[in-house]
Amino acid sequence: MKGQMKKKKHTHITEINAGTSVNCDICNRDYTDSDEKGGFIFSTYAYCPVCAMESLNRIRDYGEEKFITDWCPKDKTFREFVIGYRGGDGIIKIISEHKQ
């Protein structure tokens, strides 16, 4: 449109280095020093062994098993599983766009 300036988009990226810290995305329990095994990834959320067992029937009842994208292998701890899922770097990126 004539006479109107296009609004610019500014992207801001915040990086948080979680390192080797691992918390359940549902209950927030700290698994950094835990040897517990089990759990899964539901969409992008890491469900710890406890939350996975508590939630699995409800997920099945709603027909949402397809959103379980990965299961913790029996030979890995939840911590090892989540760190591997992250790609090993522990960097969490928060990306936001602002229009001016």
- Ranges of each domain in the chain: 22-95
Residue 26 has pLDDT above 90, yes or no: yes
pLDDT at 48 over 90: yes
pTM for the whole structure? 0.74
Provide, rounded to the nearest whole percent, the portion of the chain with pLDDT above 70.
89
pLDDT of residue 89 exceeding 80: no
Q: Residues 31, 21, 24, 73: what is their CA dihedral angle, to the nearest 10 degrees?
A: -70
pLDDT band at 7 (very low <50, low <70, confident <90, very high): low
Closest CA to 55 of 85, 23, 83, 25: 25
Distance (Å, whole) CA 5 – CA 52: 51
pLDDT band at 100 (very low <50, low <70, confident <90, very high): low
Average pLDDT over residues 15-44: 92
* Range 42-60 average pLDDT: 96
* Position 38, amino acid: G
Alpha carbons 59 and 83: distance in angstroms, whole number: 24
Average pLDDT of the chain?
A: 88
